[in-house]
């Protein structure tokens, strides 16, 4: 007589159980990907200085702790100063030489900013303009107008941003020149007004 083997029942999986298992695996994958992303972001943050140096190079050094980058002259700083200078020149037409010279300096400074390595020279020209116009506005002969006060405000703003001073304390006021030079008068031919002859 043959021995009968015990029948092992296989657990049946319903469709809902299979779907639940797949959803659980998808959730586990999402959690794993999220943890990997957090790990990568943490590593990138911890090694940001090294990565920054490798990607961009030593041409752009990172500012050290407690140090601020020095402010640099920009085009948008020159334009308001130039406009204020042109407006102020309308109130003092007799001093056109000084104003036109300073306008030319500002135009040259704006052109220098476009070129590489000329920012320092452009800043020197702006400093000359500020010193010249500070001397002009502080002169006892000059009566201040609204346009001149606006020019003084623009100059004070640039001095505050770029951190330079044009001190005039203790400096004796120089005489204000009305013309650029007197060479035209010297070039005129000398003649004696008392000589008269018929030719």
pLDDT tens column, 65-99:
555 667 788 888 889 999 999 999 999 888 888 89
Is the residue at 182 inside a domain? no
Is the residue at 128 inside a domain? yes
Are residues 141 and 176 in contact, defined by beta-carbon separation less than 8 angstroms? Answer: yes
Are residues 163 and 86 in contact, defined by beta-carbon separation less than 8 angstroms? Answer: no
Q: Do residue 94 and residue 39 come from a single domain?
A: no
- CA-nearest of 88, 108, 109 to 98 is 88
Low-confidence ranges of the chain (pLDDT < 50): 170-171, 182-185, 187, 198-199
Q: Do residue 80 and residue 158 come from a single domain?
A: yes
Tell me how many domains the chain contains: 2
Is the residue at 187 inside a domain? no
The encoded tokens of residue 53 equal 């140096």
**HSE, side-chain direction, 13 A CA sphere, residue 187:** 4
pTM more than 0.85:
no
Q: Do residue 155 and residue 107 come from a single domain?
A: yes
Is the residue at 90 inside a domain? yes
Is the residue at 44 inside a domain? yes
Query: By residue range, what is the domain housing residue 157?
Result: 75-169
DSSP one-letter code for 111? H
What's the CA gap between 171 and 33, in Å, rounded?
A: 72
């Amino acid at each position: 007589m043959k021995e009968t083997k015990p029948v092992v029942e296989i657990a049946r999986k319903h469709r809902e159980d299979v779907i639940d298992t797949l959803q659980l695996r998808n959730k586990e994958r999402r959690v794993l990907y999220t943890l990997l992303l957090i790990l990568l972001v943490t590593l990138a943050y911890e090694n940001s200085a090294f990565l920054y140096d490798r990607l961009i190079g030593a041409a752009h050094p990172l500012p050290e702790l407690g140090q601020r980058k020095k402010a640099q002259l920009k085009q948008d700083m020159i334009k308001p100063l130039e406009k204020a200078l042109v407006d102020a020149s309308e109130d003092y037409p007799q001093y056109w030489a000084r104003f036109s010279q300073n306008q030319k300096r500002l135009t040259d400074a704006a052109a220098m900013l476009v070129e590489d390595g000329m920012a320092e020279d452009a800043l020197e020209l702006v400093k000359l303009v500020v010193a010249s116009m500070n001397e002009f506005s502080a002169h006892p002969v000059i009566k201040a107008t609204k346009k001149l006060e606006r020019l003084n405000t623009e100059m004070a703003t640039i001095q505050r941003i770029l951190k330079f001073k044009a001190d005039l304390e203790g400096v004796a006021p120089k005489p204000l020149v009305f013309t650029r030079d007197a060479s035209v008068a010297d070039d005129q031919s000398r003649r004696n007004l008392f000589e008269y002859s018929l030719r």
